């Protein structure tokens, strides 16, 4: 999106606020319509010149959402899915049976469990490594066999930071693709493609939409090509598309993305710094703290802030952590993240059986309420007992 008078590219804040400056050519409306149609008219000569055939392949309401994500990520093309999991599994389902992938130990738990169960049943071979340590990644990559390296940074729920440039360099040298789950960083703070990644994933359910009222996922490709078209075919074949209303709400949510992410990041840093000194808190896991092991890489890779996600470990173990969560009043005890309202959860309870998350850990998704109110509520919740 360019300034007509100067030819200068607008800043991404401006592109997001105006959703690419879209204007309806006929009505001059500045908000796009929703197209519920699942089918499209064939031309009299039996062609489909519109490029649209049936709603399981795409929908005109997707165009603006996909173009906006592409612009914010600096990619070549994006695709919208029914959820983050639909987008992530489409990547793995587009590989061949027997392909080798390298995935992180610490990552979004439902995706790791899918890779270990359904993925394995369909012949995927996965090495699970500490992705924050490039030496471990280098050891796990098998040249000629590894097709994909999966990165999540900062990674759920310990917020470990992976050096995207370093992992991308290792993967490229072995002919493997890199897909970065950038849900928690958002395009406001990290653009994985600029650091060498091939694909970027978002659970758009989280920050991109930002209001806890849409399930959606996106993939963005650094470049188009055979693998990208295979993912497009997978989406159409298994029907893992978002609905047009969700696509429309997502565009509306993305207009305020920069404001929301910056406000949440500022509050999260203030909360992290305060809790780090709290006697009831064993440790604070937040990439913005200089004491955090991934801080140096995060400071290089993230644009001036560290996001709205942090975790705290409570002295006294699981029971004490659950009691702290039970006493909040402004924070909402709920899973998910990236919405305008602040959420707190005992993560091990959500992940259930087999979770390796420390039992004393509470995950915090910082919203856009007044920082003062958020801190006061945590202070009183921690002061109980």
Residue 154: C-alpha distances to residues 28, 171, 179 (Å): 41, 19, 14
**What is the number of the residue whose Cβ is closest to ligand PLP?**
84
The answer to whether residues 298 and 305 touch, using CB atoms and an 8 Å cutoff, is no
Please, which residue, 191 or 206, has the CB nearer to ligand PLP? 206
Of 12, 58, 108, 363, the catalytic one is: 108
Q: Which stretch binds ligand PLP (CB under 6 A): 37-45, 50-58, 83-91, 273-281?
A: 83-91
Helices (H), 239-316: 244-254, 257-276, 295-301
Q: How far is the CB of 115 from ligand PLP (least distance, A)?
A: 12
205 binds ligand PLP (CB under 6 A): yes
Q: Which stretch binds ligand PLP (CB under 6 A): 65-73, 123-131, 202-210, 244-252?
A: 202-210
181 binds ligand PLP (CB under 6 A): yes
> How does DSSP classify residue 54?
B
Helix then strand then coil, in percent of the chain rounded to 5, is 40, 15, 45
Residue from 85, 126, 268, 343 in contact with ligand PLP (CB under 6 A):
85
Q: Mark whether 56 is an active-site residue.
A: yes
Q: How far is the CB of 251 from ligand PLP (least distance, A)?
A: 17
β-partners of residue 313 are 283, 361
Helix (H, G, I), strand (E, B) or coil at 308: coil
The answer to whether residues 79 and 235 touch, using CB atoms and an 8 Å cutoff, is yes
Residue from 77, 183, 212, 311 in contact with ligand PLP (CB under 6 A):
183
Q: Which stretch binds ligand PLP (CB under 6 A): 16-24, 80-88, 324-332, 356-364?
A: 80-88
Nearest CA to 285 out of 374, 158, 131 is that of 158
Q: Which stretch binds ligand PLP (CB under 6 A): 62-70, 178-186, 249-257, 372-380?
A: 178-186
108 binds ligand PLP (CB under 6 A): yes
The answer to whether residues 240 and 81 touch, using CB atoms and an 8 Å cutoff, is yes
Residues belonging to the chain: 385
Please, which residue, 59 or 153, has the CB nearer to ligand PLP? 153
Q: Please give the structure tokens belonging to residue 194.
A: 């600029």
Q: How far is the CB of 361 from ligand PLP (least distance, A)?
A: 16
Long-range contacts of 329-334 (CB under 8 A, 24+ apart): 329/377, 329/380, 330/369, 330/373, 330/374, 330/377, 331/364, 331/374, 331/377, 331/378, 331/381
Residue from 61, 89, 112, 156 in contact with ligand PLP (CB under 6 A):
156
Q: Mark whether 207 is an active-site residue.
A: no
Please, which residue, 111 or 189, has the CB nearer to ligand PLP? 111
Q: Which stretch binds ligand PLP (CB under 6 A): 10-18, 82-90, 123-131, 256-264?
A: 82-90
Q: Please give the structure tokens belonging to residue 210.
A: 């930002």
Of 12, 147, 191, 206, the catalytic one is: 206
Please, which residue, 14 or 113, has the CB nearer to ligand PLP? 113
Q: Please give the structure tokens belonging to residue 156.
A: 């759920």
Please, which residue, 82 or 269, has the CB nearer to ligand PLP? 82
Q: Mark whether 147 is an active-site residue.
A: no
Q: Please give the structure tokens belonging to residue 358.
A: 């420390």
Residue from 215, 263, 269, 281 in contact with ligand PLP (CB under 6 A):
215
Helix (H, G, I), strand (E, B) or coil at 266: helix
* Cα–Cα distance, 169 to 154 (Å, whole number): 19
Q: How far is the CB of 60 from ligand PLP (least distance, A)?
A: 23
Order the strands of the 125-129 sheet from edge to edge: 77-81, 217-221, 199-203, 177-181, 146-152, 100-104, 125-129
Catalytic residue annotation = 56, 108, 181, 206
Residues forming contacts to ligand PLP in the complex (CB under 6 A) are 83-85, 108, 111, 152, 156, 181, 183-184, 203, 205-206, 215, 217, 337
């Amino acid at each position: 999106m360019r300034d007509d008078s100067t030819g200068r590219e607008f800043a991404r804040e401006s592109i997001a606020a105006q959703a690419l400056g879209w204007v309806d050519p006929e009505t001059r409306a500045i908000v796009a319509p929703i197209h519920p149609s699942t089918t499209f008219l064939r031309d009299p000569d039996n062609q489909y010149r519109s490029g649209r055939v049936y709603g399981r392949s795409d929908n005109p309401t997707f165009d603006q959402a996909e173009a906006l994500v592409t612009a914010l990520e600096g990619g070549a093309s994006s695709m919208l899915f029914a959820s983050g999991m639909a987008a992530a599994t489409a990547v793995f389902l587009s590989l061949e049976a027997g392909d080798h992938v390298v995935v992180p130990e610490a990552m979004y738990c439902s995706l790791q469990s899918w890779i270990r169960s359904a993925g394995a049943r369909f012949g995927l071979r996965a090495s699970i490594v500490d992705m924050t340590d490039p030496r471990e990644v280098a050891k796990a990559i098998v040249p000629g066999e590894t097709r994909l390296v999966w990165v999540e940074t900062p990674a759920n729920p310990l917020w470990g930071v992976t050096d995207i440039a370093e992992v991308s360099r290792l993967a490229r040298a072995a002919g493997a693709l890199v897909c970065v789950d950038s849900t928690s960083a958002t395009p406001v703070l990290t653009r994985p493609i600029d650091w060498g990644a091939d694909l970027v994933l978002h659970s758009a359910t989280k920050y991109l939409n930002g209001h806890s009222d849409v399930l959606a996922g996106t993939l963005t490709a650094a470049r188009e090509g055979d693998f990208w078209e295979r993912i497009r075919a997978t989406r159409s074949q298994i029907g893992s598309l978002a609905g047009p209303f969700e696509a429309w709400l997502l565009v509306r949510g993305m207009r305020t993305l920069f404001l929301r992410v910056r406000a949440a990041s500022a509050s999260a840093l203030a909360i992290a710094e305060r809790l780090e000194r709290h006697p009831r808190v064993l440790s604070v896991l937040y990439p913005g703290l200089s004491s955090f092991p991934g801080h140096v890489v995060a400071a290089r890779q993230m644009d001036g802030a560290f996001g709205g996600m942090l975790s705290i470990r409570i002295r006294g173990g699981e029971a004490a952590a659950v009691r702290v969560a039970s006493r909040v009043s402004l924070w909402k005890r709920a899973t998910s993240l990236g919405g305008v309202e602040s959420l707190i959860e005992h993560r091990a309870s959500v992940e259930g059986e087999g979770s390796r998350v420390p039992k004393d850990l509470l995950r915090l998704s910082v919203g856009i309420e007044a920082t003062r109110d958020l801190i006061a509520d945590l202070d009183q919740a921690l002061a109980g007992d």
